[in-house]
Structure 1
Amino acid sequence: MYVLWSLVGVLIAAGVGVGVWRPWRDTVTLPPSACWGMLEKADYQPLAGSSGTATEEVDAEFHGGPYRFGIPQTQCNLLWNGKGREILDVMIQQQSADPEKSDIPEFGGGKPHRWDFGADAIGWTGDSKVPVVELFLRCQYATAADAPPIQPYVQLRVMASEGVASAALPEVRQALADVSLKLAKTLAQRIPCSNSVQLADRAPVIS
């Protein structure tokens, strides 16, 4: 019996040391891509909880222009272990707010702070426990011949439910900023924007 328990102890120690055998390790299941194919697993991996499954839910497909009434609102969610909480909530729409005055407080995001995402983007984060990034992308795009005048910005709001991610809040905010910039770059091509959109190579370091 002593020999048997000694062997078990050796196996456990070896598994912990090299990460080979850890049957109690938490498991996380994420879709390989999400949000109209604009994001990959590595983009939202930092937003996941310690153990669980994320499933994607979109309210509509995202289509390029020309647009009759501006870019329609579309939303993508990565639900965590069912409905009610999200590791990622992405909303894209025609500008509905003044880009110089973020509406982050309306979503429980706290006091807004402005960040540099490039010459053609205005970015905001909040300072509350609800992680949220809002980004306004300057984008001129094709509209139908009888379409009304459009606003010059496309509005992105990227959020996560409070307390879901296993990562610390600053890391979650940073991941959301990275996601926001990637979405903005992809949207500039998908819409497409007729102006030469200038965006930062990397998202700002969110403190």
Structure 2
Amino acid sequence: MVVGVGGGTWWWASRDPLKLPVSACWSLVDRSDLLPLAGGSGGTFTVRHRSDGQYDDGSRFTPGVRNQTCIVDGHQRVLLVLDVRGTDEDTFHSKYELGYRMPSWGPEQQLNLGPDLKAWASVDATRLAFRCDNLVARDKGAAAVEITVEGGIRTADVKSASGQQARLDIALKVAKKTAEWSLPCLNTVTFPDKPVAAALPF
């Protein structure tokens, strides 16, 4: 009887394994980044990209010049929505220096990631921004880069400490690569080595 129950459990788990893309989001996010967001869920997840509101193949990553979004979803679940966009001086100042918030964002708390990064976290999302002086982006009216990492819909681990840490890690990873080589930023942007989950407010 015990063997039968155990065998049935194994069969149920094996018929819906977790399949994550090896590389995602302009090759900036990998399977190890996504795994904490999946929790104990199964299913096959794939990657979609949008640029300025239109779906594309994700081959070009030009933050600050274009508004770009990466979505990892599947099996009627959204595992990750990563949005990278340029923002003008007024928006950066009001949202990140003055702390203006939309009521629809829900409870948020500011994170201390050093002098160059402005970051806020909620129970299911992390957003951060930093000034980035780049001639091409400046022509587009962008004075800073804003990165938003949202947790998945119908994903059990979305509110866990590991899920929150994963979103923060992804946001910082994408921000660092953006500042280093995607634009790059002419000004120096200092990043923390490894913020830990204790820095998160929820």
TMscore range, shorter length: 0.7 to 0.9
In structure 2, the CA distance between the partners of 1:54 and 1:105, relative to structure 1 (3 Å rule), is farther
Mapped partners of 1:150, 1:144: distance in 2: 5
The match for 2:36 among 34, 46, 58 is 46
Q: Number of matched residues?
A: 180
More helix by share: 2
Mapped partners of 1:43, 1:163: distance in 2: 18
Question: Which residue of structure 2 lines up, in the alignment, with residue 139 of structure 1?
Answer: 132
| 1:139-195 CA-partner distances (Å, limit 9, x unpaired) | 1112289x36542x2111110234413465332112111111111111112111111
Question: Which residue of structure 2 lines up, in the alignment, with residue 118 of structure 1?
Answer: 114
In structure 2, the CA distance between the partners of 1:144 and 1:125, relative to structure 1 (3 Å rule), is closer
Question: Secondary structure of 1:24's partner?
Answer: helix
In structure 2, the CA distance between the partners of 1:56 and 1:104, relative to structure 1 (3 Å rule), is farther
Question: Which residue of structure 1 lines up, in the alignment, with residue 65 of structure 2?
Answer: 71
- Which structure 2 residue ranges, 5 or more long, are not aligned? 52-57
| 1:81-110 CA-partner distances (Å, limit 9, x unpaired) | 15xx4110011111253313254643xx41
In the alignment, is the contact (CA less than 8 A) between 2:49 and 2:69 conserved in 1?
yes
Q: Which amino acid aligns with 2:185?
A: C
Question: Secondary structure of 2:156's partner?
Answer: coil
- Tell me whether 1:188 sits opposite 2:179 in the alignment: yes
In the alignment, is the contact (CA less than 8 A) between 1:124 and 1:134 conserved in 2?
yes
Q: Which amino acid aligns with 1:164?
A: T
The match for 1:175 among 156, 159, 166 is 166
- In the superposition, the TM-score normalised over structure 1's length comes to 0.74
Q: Which amino acid aligns with 2:131?
A: R
Stretches (4+) displaced over 6 A: none
Q: Which has the larger radius of gyration?
A: 1
The match for 1:95 among 87, 90, 93 is 87
Question: Secondary structure of 2:136's partner?
Answer: coil
The percentage of counterpart residues that share the same residue type is: 27
Mapped partners of 2:162, 2:102: distance in 1: 19
Mapped partners of 1:27, 1:102: distance in 2: 42
- In the superposition, the TM-score normalised over structure 2's length comes to 0.76
Mapped partners of 2:102, 2:174: distance in 1: 18
The match for 1:24 among 5, 12, 35 is 12
Mapped partners of 1:144, 1:40: distance in 2: 27
Mapped partners of 1:55, 1:149: distance in 2: 33
